[in-house]
Amino acid sequence: MFTSGVKGQTKMAPSKKKHASSQPCIIPGGFTVLSLQFRSDSAAQHKLYVKEHKVRAEKSSRRPLDRTLFVLNIPPYCSEAVVKELFSQFDCVQSVELRDHPGSFQEPGPKLSRFFKPAEKKGFKVGYIVFQNSSGVTAAKSHPYNAPLVVCTEQRPVRTGVQKWIQQYTESFIQPDKLQQIVDSFMEDYDKRKEQEEERQRKEAEQQQEDEEGWVKVTRGHKGTKARPHSEAANKRALQKEMRKKKRKELMNFYTWQHRNTQKEHIAELRKKFEEDKQRIALLRAQRKFRPY
C-alpha cells in the first residue's frame, strides 16, 4: 500500500500472486491433486489424490508396479465404469478396482451374481487403475490442477438423486427366468470345482502311498507354490502307522519283568561302554610323546 500526492487517496499495489496454475499440484506424501467436477457448469469441485502404486510386498500380477495408479477419495457417484472413462484420457485403461479401504489383492473366488452378493457400502472409496502402458501413470500425475475432470457429460450421463433411486428400485426386481439361468450356471461351476478337487485329492493319495517297507514317496511341487495341507487320506494313514508302532511297543513290554530286564540290559551296556572309554583315554595318555612334567 502506498499514498499518492492527493491527500486522503490511497492505491493498492498490484498483486503478483497467480490465481490459477497450469502445473500439477503435489502435496506431502507424493500425492498429486486432481480436480473433479460433476458437470462442466458446476461451481463446486471435488479433489482426488493419486500416486503411483508401489508396494513391494505385493507380488500380484493384477497390479503391476509400473502401470498401476493408486487413487484416494473417489466419490460414491463414480462407479468403475465412470472411473475408467475419466482416466482413459491419459491412456488406455486395462482394469479398474474400487475398494472400501487400501489393501493387498485378494484372489477372486467363484463369481457371484449381484443377487447373491451383500449390499455394497455407500461411501468414498479407493481405487487401483491399471493402464496398458506406464505412460498413463505419468500423464495422470502431471495433469494440471486447474483442468478439472468432468464426470457427467452428454456422452456419459450419470444419474443422481431421485433418478438414481428410481433406477435402483427398477433393477431390484428379479426376473424368474433370468434368476434360474444364474442359479444353473453357478451349480455347473460348483460341480466342476468339486470334480477338480476330488481329482486333486486322488492324485495326492496316489503320490503318498506307502511301499512295502513303509516309505512314503514325497514329490516336489512347482516352484513358488505353497505347501498344501495333508489330505484326509494321508492323515488317516499316519494315524494307523502310529497305532501299529504303539501296539508293537505294548506287546514288547507287556510283562513287568520284561520291562525291568530291558532296563537292566540297557544299564549294563552303558557301563560296559563307559569302561571301554576309560581304557581308551588311558591308552592315549600313555602314548603321548610330549611330557612337560
pLDDT in tens, 223-237: 544 455 555 666 777
Higher per-residue confidence, 162 vs 289: 162
In a domain, 41, yes or no: yes
Per residue in 6-64, pLDDT (tens digit) is 444 444 444 444 444 578 888 888 899 999 988 888 888 899 999 998 876 666 677 88
CATH of the domain at 148: 3.30.70.330
- How much is the mean pLDDT over the chain? 77
Task: Identify the pLDDT of residue 128.
Answer: 92
Three-class secondary structure assignment of the chain: CEECCCCCCEECCCCCCCCCCCCCEEECCCEEEEEEECCCCCCCCEEEEEEECCCCCCCCCCCCCCCEEEEEEECCCCCHHHHHHHHCCCCCEEEEEEECCCCCCCCCCCCCCCCCCCCCCCCCEEEEEEECCCHHHHHHHCCCCCCCEECCCCCCCCCCHHHHHHHHHHHCCCCHHHHHHHHHHHHHHHHHHHHHHHHHHHHHHHHCCECCCCCECCCCCCCCCCCCCCCHHHHHHHHHHHHHHHHHHHHHCCCHHHHHHHHHHHHHHHHHHHHHHHHHHHHHHHCCCCCCC
If one counts every other C-beta atom within 10 angstroms of the C-beta of residue 165, the result is 11
Task: Identify the pLDDT of residue 17.
Answer: 42
In a domain, 101, yes or no: yes
In a domain, 201, yes or no: no
**Across 149-163, 167-181, 182-196, 210-224, least confident range:** 210-224
Q: Is the pLDDT of residue 201 over 50?
A: yes
Q: What's the pLDDT band for 72 if we cut at 50, 70, 90? A: very high
Task: Identify the pLDDT of residue 244.
Answer: 82
In a domain, 47, yes or no: yes
The set of long-range contacts for 112-120, using a CB threshold of 8 Å and a minimum separation of 24, is 112/186, 113/182, 113/186, 115/174, 115/179, 115/182, 116/186
Please state, in angstroms and rounded to a whole number, the distance separating the CA atoms of residues 248 and 263.
18
Domain that includes residue 43, residue range: 25-171
Q: What's the pLDDT band for 187 if we cut at 50, 70, 90? A: confident
In a domain, 36, yes or no: yes
In a domain, 8, yes or no: no
Task: Identify the pLDDT of residue 290.
Answer: 61
Task: Identify the pLDDT of residue 16.
Answer: 42
Task: Identify the pLDDT of residue 87.
Answer: 93
Task: Identify the pLDDT of residue 70.
Answer: 93
HSE-CB at 52 with a 13 A cutoff on CA atoms is 15
Per residue in 188-198, pLDDT (tens digit) is 888 898 999 88
In a domain, 104, yes or no: yes
Q: What's the pLDDT band for 293 if we cut at 50, 70, 90? A: low
Count: domains in the chain: 1
**Across 95-99, 102-106, 196-200, least confident range:** 102-106
Task: Identify the pLDDT of residue 13.
Answer: 44
In a domain, 166, yes or no: yes
Q: What's the pLDDT band for 180 if we cut at 50, 70, 90? A: confident
